[in-house]
Amino acid sequence: MYTLYYYPANANAAPHMLLQEIGAEYQLALVDRKVNGQKSKAYRQINPNGRIPALQDGKLVLFESAAIVLHLVDHHPESGLAPPAGTVERAKFYQWLIFLTNSLQEELMIFQYPDRLTGDNAKAMASVMHGAEKRASNFLDVIDDHLRDNGPYFLGDQVSAVDLYLVMLARWAQPMTKPPRARPHVAKLLDLVASRPAVQRAYAAEGITAPIC
């Protein structure tokens, strides 16, 4: 049985949706950010970075959402949530997943937590937030252009774990001046994925009701 260490709507959301889609047996272990549970000595033995999520699979413990996603799709190829290894489609799957985690997610983290770079300097925080939002918006435009020509999902007609990952990030990006849903092809993907029963079950288990993203 898998154990997913989580806090509602954190970076555990993509692995959680994936576990539901796969139909794997798993349990949730709450890491309470309200009391800085992610910084506790006990949790740092699981994830030394003090960040959420982590996944325990027997003796294996993994952190970083994208790594957990890749582990799950590799161990559950029957789910069809990633193309077969070695194919052109799998290469594109890697491209978009890494783009989401290295580019869009990074800017959204800066947008949400500018003080991590600026301290309490309000003027600097505003400047950092503005820059991060602009870059994140540009990345979302790239995604919308891709979906316009290749959609409705990242890989065409087949839903994949990359689409789940975008749903997670789109929820974080809701406070943006031009949120993800302002782009028609992104909005279509979000509607399709958010309506999936497995996605709704994952968010419901975390105490989150509609709208998901």
- CATH number attached to the domain at 88-196: 1.20.1050.10
Mean pLDDT throughout 193-209?
Answer: 96
Nearest CA-CA partner of 172 in 127, 128, 140, 198: 140
Tell me the chain's radius of gyration from C-alpha atoms: 17
CA distance 192 to 152: 9
Q: Which residues contact 4 (CB under 8 A, 6 or more apart)?
A: 12, 15, 16, 19, 26, 27, 28, 29, 53, 54, 55
Give the three-state DSSP class for 60.
strand
Mean pLDDT throughout 106-129?
Answer: 94
Mean pLDDT throughout 171-194?
Answer: 98
Residue 151, pLDDT > 80, answer yes
Residue 8, pLDDT > 90, answer yes
pLDDT band per the 50, 70, 90 thresholds, residue 209:
confident
CA distance 169 to 23: 22
CA distance 200 to 209: 8
Q: Write out pLDDT tens, residues 81-112.
A: 999 999 999 999 999 999 999 999 999 999 99
pLDDT band per the 50, 70, 90 thresholds, residue 211:
confident
Give CA 207 to chain center in angstroms: 17
Mean pLDDT throughout 39-54?
Answer: 97
Q: Which residues pair with 61 in a beta bridge?
A: 56
Q: Does the 2-80 domain belong in CATH 1.10.150.120?
A: no
Residue 146, pLDDT > 80, answer yes
Q: Do domains 2-80 and 88-196 have the same CATH topology?
A: no
Sign of CA dihedral 122, 127, 131, 133: positive
Residue 162, pLDDT > 80, answer yes
Four-CA torsion 205, 206, 212, 213, nearest 10 degrees: -140
Question: What does the DSSP 8-state code read for residue 39?
Answer: G
**Domain boundaries in the chain?**
2-80, 88-196
Residue 124 has which token pair?
């600097």
Give the three-state DSSP class for 141.
helix
pLDDT band per the 50, 70, 90 thresholds, residue 34:
very high
Q: Which residues contact 204 (CB under 8 A, 6 or more apart)?
A: none
Q: What is the pTM of this model?
A: 0.96
Q: 57: part of which helix (H) or strand (E)?
A: strand 54-57
Give the three-state DSSP class for 94.
helix
Mean pLDDT throughout 101-128?
Answer: 94
